[in-house]
Structure 1
């Protein structure tokens, strides 16, 4: 009988322990003792060693999850039921998420390393005062090309892509804002132009380019150019940074007519369960040494000015990826165009893609 009582008592003790753990996990959105930071970021967009370093320094466990588009990330947060503590949206998405009341207003006193940011990367149009976001990486949209495959040809502008020698040579990144932006810039219009007549002009101009376009694809562009399967690609600067340093035949150019200046940012959703850990991570990533390590690993440009001295000189002095931003003429950040205008962009872009088939 004593053994039976002891057996049932043991079961009750174990049950209460399990219930206690479950209660704590529920309180913390699945995070035991509030000691987990859940990050939602783009794939392969951080040096894994930095996550280990952060965990070691803070004793906070990091759960790292990834998304492949701003729209997918925002939809997931809008639907609720998530426990992401830190997210990495692009500039125009910050504007949209602010309007949708999805973001926590930042307490900048908890991110003292914000002082190390380059002055050009604070107080931008998508988040004046940086009340909701802090820059993570930045870059441009430009042209990556192989001069050897083009017999020494130099490309400096969007207009250069229309040369007949480039027939069936160009790979375009699959993005309506990027491709329509090319057409708008070529004609001297703003990347954020919503005038329907101008957008129709841009579409017609891009249709003239289609004989030179080999394909409209995603992340494959970098690999195809590395493998000499194509000689020209319209890409984000970070996609070009590593490979141009390894292959002297490759070059990356910021088109003379102008292009997109983009930012990916760190932000805290209102639904975050561990906001204090998110602040600590933001501050950690803004540490100049950590920012330099991350930039060297990922290949994109760091917004932390004080990190430049920790980067290799050939990287820090490369004006293709760290251009002089005192003269930002022609470099524009994407505005949130609103659903109606964005739908029109997408409609024209889809027509353009269909015409290529």
Structure 2
């Protein structure tokens, strides 16, 4: 009886395993046709109402996962454990992903609305011809000052930060590339230099700036500046937009001698599966009314010229976030400098942080 019972249990178990295997196989085969879009994006970097609208219009459910740095996004994409359909990396990261064959080229025949993107934001060095990327948002690196403590004419150039008057007054974003970059521009050098001598000289300039630095932090800059706890900060335009919206005494300036011009872009990782959903979403986000809504929600500058024209005049004419062409002409897009040079930047920046502590 025990043998018969054991044989019966074994048969039942085998049937269950077979059924489970078939279900998994069917799921795997059907996944590419699922009404789903897996989107990998920065946190709070799209209007949730747009995701709802997209789902209602198309029937595609959006699975939204976030990352907090290009490096974290790159690592997870390299691991390949999750089949992301779209991701939103920054310029130099796209260059890395192309070199590592982590991206699929765009099928331009399926894209409607690329002509809405301004020519200034296409065909950049990190993706010539936009074979792999569609501009999503763009911005700059600049200086935020509080007019309770700083006059406008006192803060127009990177060199103004070195004035002894600002001792223990400046918040710096914790980013080796950006902070060494501003020192490079101050010294008349490229933000993409691989010269050990030039980057070392930039680090020496930062050592001279150290007495003026109040703290080197990340998101905490927002709190400090909004609450009037620091006169000055160096950060990105998108972060600045949020701060200015919460404190009328704050202003943002891009030094006319040059700075960083960055782009975040929609790309298709090689693990993508839901291609109908992908192109439906790309076309949806290229529509001017949707790009305009997204720009108003996020607060970053849109590369969609038709969407920009629909924005309130106070926004589209704000030179803090939509600089004049002569200023844009002096801005530099970051190149992928390679592991060795990036390591040098990181090491020297760490030395600077240790120097001021």
* TM-score in terms of structure 2 length: 0.92
Q: Is the 8 A contact 1:120 1:325 kept in 2?
A: no
Alignment correspondent of 2:102: 102
Separation in structure 2 between the aligned mates of residue 125 and residue 152 of structure 1, nearest angstrom: 34
Q: CA 1:80 to 1:122, structure 2 compared with 1: closer, same or farther past 3 Å?
A: same
Separation in structure 2 between the aligned mates of residue 16 and residue 75 of structure 1, nearest angstrom: 35
1:37 counterpart SS class: strand
Alignment correspondent of 2:328: 328
Alignment correspondent of 2:167: 167
Q: CA 1:326 to 1:16, structure 2 compared with 1: closer, same or farther past 3 Å?
A: farther
User: How far apart are residue 102 of structure 1 and its match?
Assistant: 0.5
User: How far apart are residue 21 of structure 1 and its match?
Assistant: 4.8
Asked if 1:67 corresponds to 2:63, the answer is: no
1:259 counterpart SS class: coil
Q: Is the 8 A contact 2:137 2:264 kept in 1?
A: yes
1:334 counterpart SS class: coil
Alignment correspondent of 1:49: 49
Asked if 1:356 corresponds to 2:356, the answer is: yes
Alignment correspondent of 1:311: 311
Q: Is the 8 A contact 1:138 1:261 kept in 2?
A: yes
Asked if 1:132 corresponds to 2:129, the answer is: no
Which segments of 5 or more consecutive residues in structure 2 lack a partner in the other structure? 1-13
- What aligned pairs does 1:1-357 form with structure 2 within 5 A after superposition? 21-27=23-29, 31=31, 33-150=33-150, 154-325=154-325, 328-357=328-357
User: How far apart are residue 27 of structure 1 and its match?
Assistant: 2.6
Q: CA 1:15 to 1:193, structure 2 compared with 1: closer, same or farther past 3 Å?
A: closer
1:126 counterpart SS class: coil
1:251 counterpart SS class: strand
User: How far apart are residue 256 of structure 1 and its match?
Assistant: 2.2
2:149 counterpart SS class: coil
User: How far apart are residue 65 of structure 1 and its match?
Assistant: 0.1
Q: Deviations over 1:120-148 (max 9, x none)?
A: 01101000000011110000000011011
1:55 counterpart SS class: helix
Q: Is the 8 A contact 2:191 2:334 kept in 1?
A: yes
Q: Is the 8 A contact 1:158 1:256 kept in 2?
A: no
Q: Deviations over 1:262-316 (max 9, x none)?
A: 0000000111111221121111111101001001100100000000122111101
Separation in structure 2 between the aligned mates of residue 212 and residue 311 of structure 1, nearest angstrom: 38
User: How far apart are residue 172 of structure 1 and its match?
Assistant: 0.4
Alignment correspondent of 2:9: none
Which segments of 5 or more consecutive residues in structure 1 lack a partner in the other structure? 1-11
User: How far apart are residue 203 of structure 1 and its match?
Assistant: 0.6
Q: CA 1:312 to 1:32, structure 2 compared with 1: closer, same or farther past 3 Å?
A: same
Q: Is the 8 A contact 2:40 2:67 kept in 1?
A: yes
Q: CA 1:17 to 1:129, structure 2 compared with 1: closer, same or farther past 3 Å?
A: same
* TM-score in terms of structure 1 length: 0.92
User: How far apart are residue 149 of structure 1 and its match?
Assistant: 2.6
2:268 counterpart SS class: coil
Q: Which moved more, 1:131-140 or 1:220-229?
A: 220-229
Separation in structure 2 between the aligned mates of residue 335 and residue 82 of structure 1, nearest angstrom: 27
Q: Which moved more, 1:54-63 or 1:216-225?
A: 216-225
Separation in structure 2 between the aligned mates of residue 138 and residue 124 of structure 1, nearest angstrom: 12
Q: Is the 8 A contact 1:25 1:33 kept in 2?
A: no
Q: CA 1:339 to 1:54, structure 2 compared with 1: closer, same or farther past 3 Å?
A: same
